[in-house]
Structure 1
Amino acid sequence: MPRLNTTPRLADPDGLLEALLAAHQGLDEAASRRLDARLVLILANHIGDAEVLRAAIALAAKPGPESGL
């Protein structure tokens, strides 16, 4: 049974953040939310495991530093 992996694995997290911010540049709030929603669905499809996705949703819904990221 796969478990949610929260160990940092990104080689260039700052570069990824820059790319995400650049993708949002010039978008109004509604377009920015649509971009985020599409990105989440694309990545969820790539993961493909409902149990892992539910664990990620629960973790993301927690406020504060205990979110693990």
Structure 2
Amino acid sequence: MQLRTTPNIADPDGFYQELIESQREMTEAEAELMNCKLVLILANHIGDRSVLSEAIERARGPIG
């Protein structure tokens, strides 16, 4: 499996809105915990260690 870096969410604005709304009533700490849990759930779904390692490296790098 290869890390997909091109847009792949059918409704990115809708997804972003859902994510923001899901955290609206949370404290900053609760929202951070939810984000960590979401990352682990999605990492488990991906499962491929090489893809996850590449994603970690890209996330650590500069934005853009």
Note whether the superposition's TM-score is higher than 0.5. Answer: yes
Percent of paired sites with the same residue: 45
Per the alignment, residue 47 of structure 1 pairs with 46
Shift of 1:42: 0.4
Per the alignment, residue 16 of structure 1 pairs with 15
Residues 11-32 of structure 1 show CA distances to partners (whole Å, capped at 9, x for unaligned) of 1000000000011111111101
Shift of 1:35: 0.3
Question: Within 5 Å, which residues of 2 pair with 1:1-69?
Answer: 2-65=1-64
Distance 1:40 1:11 in 2: 19
TM-score (norm 1): 0.87
The alignment of Structure 1 onto Structure 2 pairs a total of residues equal to: 64
Runs of 5+ in structure 1 lacking a partner? none
What SS class does the counterpart of residue 2 from structure 2 fall into? coil
**Cα-Cα RMSD:** 0.8
Shift of 1:62: 1.1
Shift of 1:64: 2.0
Runs of 5+ in structure 2 lacking a partner? none
Stretches (4+) displaced over 4 A: none
TM-score (norm 2): 0.93
